[in-house]
Structure 1
Amino acid sequence: MSGSAGRNLGLVLALLIVVVIGVATAPDRFPTVDNTLTILRFASALGVVSIGMTFVIAAGHIDLSVGAIMALASVWATTLASQRMAEDFHWVTMVITALAVGASCGLINGILVAYGRMASFIVTLAMLVGARGLAEMISGKRNQIAEVQGFLDFFGGEVFGLPVLVIIFALVAAAAWVLLNRTTFGRRTLAVGGNAEAARLAGIRVKRHTMVVFALVGVACGIAALMMVARTTTGTSTHGMLWELEAIAAVVIGGTLLSGGRGTIVGTVFGVLILATLTNVFTLHNLDTSTQAVAKGAIIVVAVLLQQRVAARNGGP
């Protein structure tokens, strides 16, 4: 418990340092209500994907396809057919479409990893290429404008001044915390990630559990797709570019072990906020995306090195 509290305190301090840098370097633009809401809106969709990634990494795997799955779900939910159905029946049909696409892609990943005995790195890399390509085929490499007003009003609205997107992120984070820390599913996820063979001998159906974990991150991608469509009013194959990097960075910064066996939802939330705030500072200073990617890659390396030092000090993960 003390180790977890110490990690969270370190994350809070890291977030405060980034905030101080933002205030010091852009005092007229960074510390404003509008900019804070911009950071939170950006963090929301990325945060939902990162929470799903937390379960996959805690289970001892990796998912490189989260950005592509989100893009495919956003495109499928905003096709003319999907939007026509939404107008004829209810905008919830767009929600169902995005969630179904995300869950299906995640399920395919899970089946190939668990029952096909393929490395998750290879499977999700193939899904990254395939899902992005299918999204381009469906959309014709064009942005699809979301025109269903009920959908835009709901996801783009506010409750007591707080954007609905931020509320969705908070609800997903709370549900994920309960799932990981207070349920058998969470304990089994950590057990599988810590030692899959020991988990199997303990009676856990490792293959089925692995499949469900990948389906879970697929659902998270579907939710994030809806949030991106609401935030940008478009479904496009370019959504989620390099989000696999962003999500992995947030999860690792938060304290989830890349080797599996330990996961923290609170840490992931802080990791997302740190990255979102850092991205905002970069954007305010007009740094190009390539420079941002290099900086985030360096952050991942530093976070992994720190994890290794902590693990060595404690005698192992």
Structure 2
Amino acid sequence: MSVSTAPPAVSTQRPGVLARMRGTEVRNLGLVAVLAVLIVIGAVTSENFLTTDNLENILVSSSVIGVVTIGMTFVIIGGGIDLSVGAIVALASVWATTLATQSYGPWMMALCAILVGAGAGLANGLLIAYGRLVPFIVTLAMMVSARGLAARLADNRTQLVNEQGIKDLAKTDVLGIPLMVIILAVVAALGWILLNRTTFGRRTFAIGGNTEAARLAGIDTRLNTALLYVLSGTCCGIAAVMLLARTTTGSSTHGNLYELDAIAAVIIGGTLLSGGRGTLIGSILGVLVFITISNIFILNNLATETQNIAKGLIIVGAVLLQRRANRDTT
């Protein structure tokens, strides 16, 4: 008499792991693959691409916009948007390079830039969180106002950095790594800890996912939202100091289109424009992708207009991929 045996149980844990892997990790790996392809294209199209100076230039160029992008990532994950980041960078750079500020030395210049950035972010946050105004409108108004104030303070002139301590930031290496890149790494590490290992980060995800549900759960959504814009403004202040070091000038034209580059990098990195999901690692990879593309265009003498067209197409493509990914997961 034969005895029937039940088939061995099939573990359901593996598909769960694979499902999770199809999310953030796969997107980040995809961005790494895109970077690898861009490096090959750059090497093929220009003999100068793989030189040490050019690769260092890519990393240093990524550092300034990368710091701005970190703040933008927090804001977008929290369900907001910040169109004023470039103008805040300009305002902070101008304010920090006035003769009165420079007379107190490089540390005061850096502190001034950071405080100006944080103050502008606080103004955005208060109007959005407590004034209940639309983030798009508030930050658009700040973009116009901050750049206008920067032009007024500088009297439409470019202000020179006289303090050697600020200039040295762009010339200093630590163990062969440019200090500007190290600053980006430190800000990114602190941002990652804040987003993924603190209550503030968890609340940011919750507010971006469903503001009303977060409020009913006892989260002070208004305070958290205001702090997100303060954080974004602070990152703009840090970026302004780095830009002062690179250009040795403060100008109302600094940070032009930084909002476009930062938002594009955040979207490419996998952060949802509607909020509630995103990663800082993906955003940094998005910055590297954008800067590498621009570098390849510059080395091949392509016009700025062509670069902007390509950036626009990349943004649209990234949003379409996000929508398709969302449909697949629902």
TM-score (normalizing by structure 2): 0.92
Query: 8 Å contact 2:88–2:120 — kept in the other structure?
Result: yes
1:12 matched residue in structure 2: 32
Give the aligned partner of residue 181 of structure 1. 196
2:293 alignment partner AA: L
- Give the Cα–Cα distance (whole angstroms) in 2 for the partners of residues 31 and 102 of structure 1: 36
CA distance in 1 between counterparts of 2:170 and 2:186 reads 14
Aligned residue number for residue 173 of structure 2? 158
Cross-structure match for 1:22: 42
What do the CA deviations read for 1:200-232 (whole angstroms, capped 9, x no partner)?
000100001100000000000000000000011
What's the counterpart of residue 99 of structure 2? 80
Are 2:280 and 1:265 aligned?
Answer: yes
Once residues 169 and 36 of structure 2 are traced to their aligned partners in structure 1, the CA distance between those partners, rounded to angstroms, is 32
Q: Which runs of 5+ in 2 are unaligned?
A: 1-19
Deviation at 1:155, TM superposition (A): 4.7
2:57 to 27, 38, 46: 38
8 Å contact 2:169–2:242 — kept in the other structure?
Answer: no
Measured in 2, the distance between the counterparts of 1:55 and 1:276 equals 21
Aligned mates of 1:67, 1:147 — CA distance in 2: 23
Aligned partners of 1:79 and 1:156: how far apart in 2? Answer: 22
What residue identity is the alignment partner of 2:38? V
Q: Which runs of 5+ in 1 are unaligned?
A: none
Residue 114 of structure 1: which of 123, 129, 139 is its match?
Answer: 129
In 1, the alpha carbon distance for the partners of 2:210 and 2:183 equals 33
Root-mean-square deviation over aligned CA pairs? 0.9
1:51 pairs with 2:66: no
Q: Which residue of 2 aligns with 1:242?
A: 257
2:219 pairs with 1:204:
yes
Query: Which residue type is aligned with residue 201 of structure 1?
Result: L
Select between 249-258 and 133-142 the one with higher mean Cα deviation: 133-142
Q: Please name the residue that 2:9 is paired with.
A: none
Mapped partners of 1:144, 1:158: distance in 2:
26
Read off the aligned partner of 1:72 and give its amino acid letter. Answer: L
Equivalence for 2:209 = 194
CA apart distance, 1:292: 1.3
Aligned position for 2:89: 70
Structure 1 equivalent of residue 244 of structure 2: 229
* 1:172 equivalent among 187, 198, 219: 187
Aligned to 1:144: 159
Percent identity of equivalent pairs: 58
Cα shift readout 1:101-138 (whole Å, capped 9, x = no counterpart)? 00000000000111111110000000000001111111
Letter in 2 for 1:296: K
Aligned-partner Cα distance in 1 for 2:61–2:245:
12
Equivalent residue pairs, number:
310
Contact preservation (8 Å) 2:158, 2:249? yes
* 1:168-189 deviation line (CA, Å, top 9, x unaligned): 0001111111111111110000
Q: Give the C-alpha shift of residue 152 in structure 1.
A: 1.8
For 2:155 and 2:307, the matched residues in 1 are separated by 29
- State the partner residue of 1:125: 140
Q: Tell me, what secondary structure is at the counterpart of 2:103? A: helix
Post-superposition CA distance 1:75-109 (Å, at most 9, x none): 111111111121xxxx2101110011000000000
Aligned mates of 1:34, 1:203 — CA distance in 2? 52
Q: Does 1:252 align with 2:267?
A: yes
SS in 2 for 1:85: coil
Question: TM-score scaled to structure 1, two decimals?
Answer: 0.96
